[in-house]
Amino acid sequence: VPYAAGGPADVVARELALVLSADLKQTVTVENQGGGMGVPALGVVARADPDGHTLLLAAFGNMVLQPMLSKKGGADLVAKLKPVSTISTGPHVLVVSAKLPVKNIPELIDYARANPGKVSFASAGTGGTAHLGMEMFKALSKTDVIHVPYKGSAGAVNDLISGEVSAMFSSLPSLQGLADKGLVKVLAATAPSKSAATKSLPLIGSALPGFEYTTWYAMYAPQATPKGTVDTINAALAKALRNPAIVTKIEAAGTELQAGSPEEVQAWTQRDSDKWSRVIRDAKISIE
């Protein structure tokens, strides 16, 4: 898992590992290797023996955004990995400080237009999904909003609570507790969802036509892994992702578990490569 323990990817990975261990009657362990935009973790799996025993649970940011933004070997490593299965998908939500005098997306757009340069969007770093979501919002709403990158999400969330920054795109689980306490306001979701946690939220696209994105996770193996091995793992994942214990725990937090074929992983990748390459190009974003 190319993220530290405790995050959304790690939670899904550990729940999957428990079920797979029981179903396959062998130990399935989770190894966290965060940092470097996921490149170190991609390298570990790309260089592993193609025997089906070393897999990568990656986010679309690792497989789509990072190769387009960074010149440090990400694209080369992605080419050395083979899709195995889709794992999950879900929207982000747009959250604003409780101190910002807006209650919905139209009010946020009006406020931003009336106060150019004064509405700021926090993110956990340049080039991440929260940053690119802000760039899409900025372009489609024709507003002058400011990006404020942080080194991780903790500082961003703290300043969102204090009102130091105005808004932030995020997965819902990490901010639900703050919203329940009235410290932040959840305005809308970035895409339709079947999850009980997000399906009733307004859609940003309703006020801002053309705005839509989801985040997703997929499983990968080394490129030379035989098709028969990939098919076996895909079937095991499909069974595990239907397990009621996983479904209840993960989907309650706003993530939809979705088993799918390697071809579906490739379709998701192509769709988002087209979408985000335009945003990155138009906003002139690059990372060394």
Express each pLDDT in 32-84 by its tens digit.
998 888 899 999 999 999 999 999 999 999 999 999 988 776 789 999 999 99
pLDDT value at residue 288: 65
Say what the pLDDT of residue 245 is.
86
Kindly report each contact of residues 53-56 with a partner whose C-beta sits within 8 Å and lies 24 or more positions away, as own/partner: 54/221, 54/222, 55/84, 55/219, 55/220, 55/221, 55/233, 56/2, 56/81, 56/219, 56/220, 56/221
* Nearby residues of 125 by Cβ (< 8 Å), 6 or more positions away: 131, 149, 150, 151, 152
- Strands, sheet with 167-170, edge to edge from the N-terminal-most edge strand: 146-149, 120-123, 167-170, 93-97, 184-189
Let me know if 84 is exposed, middle or buried by CB neighbors in 10 A (0-12, 13-18, 19+): buried
**What's the confidence (pLDDT) of residue 80?**
96
Take residue 108 and report the two structure tokens written for it.
Answer: 């946020």
Report the DSSP beta bridge partners of residue 89.
216, 256
The pLDDT value recorded for residue 235 is 98
Confidence at residue 249, expressed as pLDDT on a 0 to 100 scale: 83
Neighbours of 85 (CB within 10 A): 26
278: nearest Cα among 168, 146, 132? 132
- Give the separation between CA 207 and CA 190, rounded to whole angstroms: 11
Q: Determine if the pTM surpasses 0.85.
A: yes
Residue 4 confidence (pLDDT): 85
Tell me the β-bridge partners of 90.
215
Q: Is 26 exposed, middle or buried (0-12, 13-18, 19+ CB in 10 A)?
A: exposed
Is-contact 215 60, C-beta < 8 A?
yes
Give the 3-state secondary structure percentages of the chain, helix then strand then coil, rounded to 5.
45, 20, 35
Q: 261: burial class by Cβ within 10 Å (0-12, 13-18, 19+)?
A: middle
User: Are 166 and 100 spatial neighbours (Cβ–Cβ below 8 Å)?
Assistant: yes
Both tokens assigned to 12? 């899904």
Low-confidence residues of the chain, pLDDT below 70? 73, 253, 288
φ, ψ of residue 13 to 5 degrees: the values are -60, -45
